[in-house]
Amino acid sequence: MNEPAPGPPRALARLQLHAGFTLDDAAAQVDYYAELGVSHLYASPLFTARPGSNHGYDVIDYHQVNPELGGEPALQRLMQRLRAHGMGLVLDIVPNHMFAGPGNAWWMDVLRHGRASHYASYFDIDWRSPDPLVRGHVLLPILGKPYAQALRDCDVHLDRESDEYILRVHDNPLPLAPPTIEALRGAGEAARVLSAHDGTREAGFGRLHALLEQQHYRLALWKLANDMIDYRRFFDINELVGLRMDRTRVFEDSHALVFRLYAEGLIDGLRVDHVDGLADPHRYCRQLRHRLRRLQRQRPAGAPRGPAYLVVEKILAEGERLRPDWRMDGTTGYEFMDQVGALLHDGAGEPMLTELWQAISGERADFATVARAARRQILVDSFEAELDRTARALFDAARADVSTRDVSLPAIRRVLVELLVHFPVYRTYAGGLGRDAADEAVFQQAYARARHQVRIEDRELLAEVSAWLGGQAPRGLPPGRVRQARERAMRIFQQATSPMAAKAVEDTACYRYGRLLSRNEVGADPGHLALDIPTFHALCAERARDYPNNLLATATHDHKRGEDARARLAVLSHAAVVPHWASTVERWRERNDGLRTAVDGARAPSAADEYMLYQTLVGAWPLTLAADDREGLDAFRERIAQWQRKALREAKRRSRWSRPNEPYEDACDAFLAALLAPVHGFAIELHAFVQRIAAAGAANSLLQTALRLTTPGVPDTYQGTDAWDFSLVDPDNRSPVDFDARRAALATGAPWDALLGRWRDGALKQRVLHALLQLRSRHRAVFAQGDYRQLAVEEPEGAGAGRLLAFQRTLDGQAVVVLALRHTGGVLLDAREPRWDAAATTALLAADVRVRGVAPGRYRNLLGGGEGSVDDALQPAQWLSPLPVAVLEPLTS
């Protein structure tokens, strides 16, 4: 058995586990990932989840490994295989929420015993609802019909299960309070008791209603959730209830298995999901690091003894940084996905793309305006209950202080709405000492924008609310009701901003704003199309200094478009390509206009929805799909149709999840079906256009892959992305992976020319990934500890300026040099392959471009071969072949 190398992982491979792909299935792929060059597998949550869960984020039991995945014996078998290859395991955990339903013993106990339950303090429940009907109870908005109708239609009825009385709602069991059960047991024969509570009869209806009134929960129509729910949810998902992880007992109970698995060497690190949902992320992260550090000495031989690898899922806004005092290794890499994605886009094409979007859609608003409108809508449509809870917490803080007792709840609500609408980040992290400098800057920005929107008479209150939310340190107040109320208001507010922002930006605005969908991604700002090379270098250098072990992701289980779909769509921003795209879209719109139909007095799909559909078709078209492949086209249409229906509902303009507009959705489906029907011939045109930009898209993808593997951080390869990834949003991005094909491709060891000749099958991308993972293995210290140095590119001002990216990773005199050309769409437009040579380099750059500052020595290009000596300066054209990206490895004598 090989002992894993100490220190952080060298490279991760993310796997989504479920009943169809278990821990034993993962174990069967260990040798493939070992051969590829991965040091750690990175598993989706392993706790027991809701039966049939395909993601594991709906946990019902933190104390056991999910039996559907094979249980703990299967985890042990997986770890044996990993250790045999000197590999490790990083585990995704879910501390923020659990599934609120059958199977969750903690939740069922709360429903049975109410506030007297041992687990009542585990969940973030507001027992102080302003509604006297709900106060002191848990509101369960699970009825498909109004309450009375549900009882009369027997959707809610009394039943017996395992010789015990239960309540059954839509076939789901709910517990009854112990006094109710005792009363029913003493009421006579079971059949008579059940008959007496038959809601289909008037007398039975009254008895059933009276029985329900004695429970610790209140049943309600599902539509009431957004207005009335009294427990903190994950986003607006009623079935996921928030946990009070700030309480030590809850922390220890929910992490007991994690700590044991780590102590026994069955896991080596953790990815913490949705850290912003926690009341106190700072305390949680430090507590987690402390507990794992204490367990290090218990780990067995064969398990690395160094610090556990810990990263948090955190969306960082532009200019925002992860707090160093959290003691984490970094984030899960959404910010890198944003940065490298923006680098692939061409700012020169932005004005033309903006004009095209506005002309087609008729929408003039920029993304920031669209996002603010979405925030305002979301507060009313999806988070009315959370808004009300936050406003009431602030109202309590006002009433606790005699100097602010005249403040009204409606006034607080008005200023709170404006703060939330204009909040520039997902959340702040103020504690007892108030806001730090970073949070203060955030609040001042939100305050300044909100001040322009609130009524003049509310501006003084806006300043007061800002103070209550951390502008004044609660610990500066004497212990008592005022201090407690301020701290509670601050906690509730900070836990509310993150889901509101995510729902408004990621799940609404990103489905409304369609300038270029490759920038509409989790962690990205679609309003910022491109990133220049100097800024990218500065961000890499900063990461090397502050978070050298930050995860680097370009695809995740949450992405809206696969990494290669985004890379292909980025070509549409290249200045030389935008005119072709614009004329193509105009031609398509004209030829397909007759396929649109009228629904409720408007055309379906709308112009904006049609334009976003064309982008999606172009981005997701498989490289191996022929326009006359009927079976392949049908499968492709099904994938796009699934995306389109979800996109329409997330946008919340003509349809939504809570009230689907099926006539509009069906008309959009019919439009898509007609587009791809063989008789229409559009698929031939679509295929032809994809072929025009496909090679340039592949060049973007290979550049993206190279940067993920060579810039500071730990690269993460999401399942299936070792070949081309043109997936769409979940569940499409969680589709089964053909590992047999990947094994066969890796085993062939085909030369670069052969791979370029059949580049559409994905083996070329796999070879680039394999070559660079092996490089990281040979030069582990260089990538784990080495400097990141921008290399000087000497080029005249002009057409080629700003296209060549050059840097080196150095340690103790050794250097790995990376050269990459971006914005190659003009040269590779209509190209049959992403093949590159000196002539192509010269066509893109000035002939006399030089790269200076390279560590002298002899190098070989890992991406295609070729060797040569370098003495401080090199000519890019000498090395950029056969790809527009080169990674130079030093040769030892």
**SS3 for 391-441, per residue?**
HHHHHHHHHHCHHHCCCCHHHHHHHHHHHHHCCCCCCCCCECCECCHHHHH
Distances (CA, A) of 556 to 25, 176, 261, 522, 741: 20, 41, 25, 10, 21
Q: Give the number of other Cβ atoms within 10 Å of residue 893's Cβ.
A: 4
SS3 call for 626: coil
Beta bridge partner(s), residue 241:
98, 233
Distances (CA, A) of 543 to 188, 331, 433, 804: 71, 11, 28, 21
- 560, 727 in Cβ contact below 8 A? no
User: Which of 671, 638, 636, 669 lies closest to 655, judged by CA?
Assistant: 669
SS3 call for 20: coil
pLDDT tens, residue by residue, 681-705: 999 999 999 999 999 999 999 999 9
- 500, 383 in Cβ contact below 8 A? yes
| pLDDT at residue 634, as a whole number | 97
Chain-centre distance of CA 663, in angstroms?
31
Residues of the chain with pLDDT under 70: 1, 3-5, 797-800, 893
Written as six digits, the tokens of 862 are 């890992």
| pLDDT at residue 162, as a whole number | 87
**Cα 811 to Cα 318: distance, rounded to the nearest angstrom:** 30
- 217, 107 in Cβ contact below 8 A? no
| pLDDT at residue 554, as a whole number | 98
Which fold is adopted by the domain 12-96+245-331?
TIM Barrel (3.20.20)
| pLDDT at residue 243, as a whole number | 98
Pairing type for strands 269-272 and 309-312 reads parallel
Q: Rg of the chain's alpha carbons, rounded to an integer?
A: 29
| pLDDT at residue 800, as a whole number | 59
**Cα 623 to Cα 764: distance, rounded to the nearest angstrom:** 13
Q: Give the number of other Cβ atoms within 10 Å of residue 254's Cβ.
A: 21
- For the entire predicted model, the pTM comes to 0.95
**Cα 322 to Cα 122: distance, rounded to the nearest angstrom:** 27
User: Which of 621, 882, 869 lies closest to 767, judged by CA?
Assistant: 882
| Per-position DSSP letters for 121-181, written without gaps between them | GGB-B----SSTTTTTSEEEEEESS-HHHHHHTTSEEEEEETTEEEEEETTEEE---HHHH
**Cα 830 to Cα 361: distance, rounded to the nearest angstrom:** 28
SS3 call for 807: strand
| pLDDT at residue 296, as a whole number | 95
Ordered by start, the domain boundaries in the chain are 12-96+245-331, 105-240, 367-505
CATH architecture, range 105-240? 2-Layer Sandwich (3.30)
- 256, 116 in Cβ contact below 8 A? no
**Cα 460 to Cα 462: distance, rounded to the nearest angstrom:** 5
